[in-house]
Amino acid sequence: MSIGDSVRGSVLGPQSGSLLSRVTARESPLRRLDWVLVAAVLALSVVSALLVWSATRPKLIDAGDDPQSFLKKHVLLLAIGLVLGSLVAALDYRMLRAYAPIVYIVACGGLVAVLTPLGATVNGSHSWIIIGGGFQVQPSEFAKVALVVIIAMVLGEPRDGEAVPRNGDVWLTLGLAAVPMALIMLQPDLGTMLVFCAVILGMLMVAGSRRRWLFGLLAGGIILALAVWKLGILHEYQIKRFTAFADPSADPRGSGYNARQALVAVGSGGLFGAGLFHGEQTNGHFVPEQQTDFIFTVAGEELGFVGSAAIIVLLGVILWRGLRIARQCEEMYGRLLATGIVCWLAFQTFINIGMCLGITPITGLPLPFVSYGGSSTFADLIAIGLLQGVHLRRDARFD
């Protein structure tokens, strides 16, 4: 173990003393939390609230509604998400291993439910369940958590003398991943598919799988993608939207519209931006889906390079802490959990910001911690809770 903290006690700490002293004690879980990670998440939450407010305000004013209604809802969702994250952090993540199959089955059930009449279509993706009261659930967001948990369970089983996952485990991993992926393919939700692929590859890699597995899967994925493309399995609009980022000018009023408007909004921000609430592209709602998938364009236009880069840095801090937690965790299960979460968040961040900057295809992926949306906010904060949980209990030997 590289960090000299082997003398720390159990997670639960000393059993004596008042609540306050327990909480503030050096060994207390609260003090041992990764506060850098917490700070980054909270900072992003604040930024997120401001950007969602700015993105939704003009339309709400136009419609004569309360201009803060989205902001209020978002803050509420953030608060719930933070509570959820705290609860998950408090849980012993190793207990989760036992419940992983249940989490997995519930998530798959949610994905199946989407395909039933309970599901609803938003923006061409049939990935929602309407639960009334203006709330919708997007099961694919939670499926990301479930995927990480189940793969960590399969690949993180302690094995004596084996540094490399057995072929059987790899096959099991792929088999378990195949079910939600197939369900997501039916929605269809290309973005989540890509995130799943990144998570599987990343976790297999860190689990120490043989290289031939890794390269084989990578090659297989590429061949599969080409096959899907050529065989016309995807809808026309998906391919159009997928390729529009490469040349938005080809069809400026059609599928290239989003890509182009996003670029214009970000580009017009300049170094310092137009100032919060002063982005004219944003106020004219030129960019579609601006409070969700294209939230980064609000930052680009109103906060400029300085503000947008700060968001990337904050996300980078989260990923860095995640990787640090993975590295520090001596137990494979915890390490894989952290790895899966990092892969998920990193890839989703890259795809989302990339599509706002015109370098990745437009897929319906939210920006972690920033985009408006209950499901993604909850899933992201649960993931942070898991990271904190791993961080608190990283010292496997003394447990």
> Is residue 263 at the binding interface for other proteins, with CB under 8 A as the rule?
yes
Pick the closer one to other proteins by CB: 85 or 256: 256
Using the minimum distance from each CB to other proteins, give the nearer residue, 81 or 358: 358
Contact 84, 381 (CB under 8 A): yes
User: Alpha carbon 365 to chain centroid distance?
Assistant: 9
Helix (H) or strand (E) holding 335: helix 332-356
172 binds other proteins (CB under 8 A): no
Binding to other proteins in span 32-61, by CB under 8 A: 59
The answer to whether the beta carbons of residues 275 and 294 sit under 8 Å apart is no
Distances from the Cα of 37 to the Cα of 42, 174, 314, 343, angstroms: 9, 31, 9, 16
Chain centroid to CA 134: how far?
23
Stretch that binds other proteins, among 84-92, 174-182, 186-194, 281-289 (CB under 8 A): 281-289
Q: Is residue 280 near other proteins by the rule CB under 8 A? A: yes
Please classify residue 131 by burial: count the beta carbons closer than 10 Å to its beta carbon, then call 0-12 exposed, 13-18 middle and 19+ buried.
Answer: exposed
Q: Which is nearer to other proteins, 101 or 305 (CB)?
A: 305
For 217, how many CA atoms within 13 A lie in the half-sphere containing its CB?
19
- Which token pair is 272? 């310092």
Taking the complex as a whole, the smallest distance from the CB of residue 152 to other proteins amounts, in Å, to 13
How far apart CA 287 and CA 266 sit, in angstroms, is: 10
Q: Is 366 in the site for other proteins (CB under 8 A)?
A: no
- The reply to whether 286 sits near other proteins by the rule CB under 8 A is yes
54, 370 Cβ separation under 8 angstroms:
no
List the x/- string, 293-312, binding to other proteins by CB under 8 A: -------x---xx--xx--x
Contact status: 334 vs other proteins (CB under 8 A)? no
Can residue 380 be called a binding residue for other proteins (CB under 8 A)?
Answer: no
Sign of CA dihedral 195, 196, 200, 203: positive
Using CB under 8 A, which of the segments 3-11, 131-139, 141-149, 352-360 binds other proteins? 352-360
Q: What is the H or E stretch that residue 190 is in?
A: helix 190-206
The residue from 67, 188, 267, 275 that contacts other proteins (CB under 8 A) is: 267
Which is nearer to other proteins, 48 or 261 (by Cβ)? 261
Query: Given the DSSP bridges, would you call strands 119-122 and 125-132 parallel, antiparallel or unpaired?
Result: antiparallel
Interface residue with other proteins, options 331, 341, 374, 385 (CB under 8 A): 331
H/E stretch holding 129: strand 125-132
Beta carbon of residue 18, minimum distance to other proteins (angstroms, whole number): 39
Among 108, 346, 386, 387, binds other proteins (CB under 8 A): 346
Residue that is written with structure tokens 């590289």 in the block: 2
Which stretches of the chain bind other proteins, using CB under 8 A? 59, 62-63, 123-124, 163-164, 202, 205-208, 237, 241, 253-255, 257-258, 261, 263-271, 280-281, 283-290, 300, 304-305, 308-309, 312, 315-316, 319-320, 323, 326-327, 330-332, 335, 339, 342-343, 346-347, 349-350, 353-354, 357-359
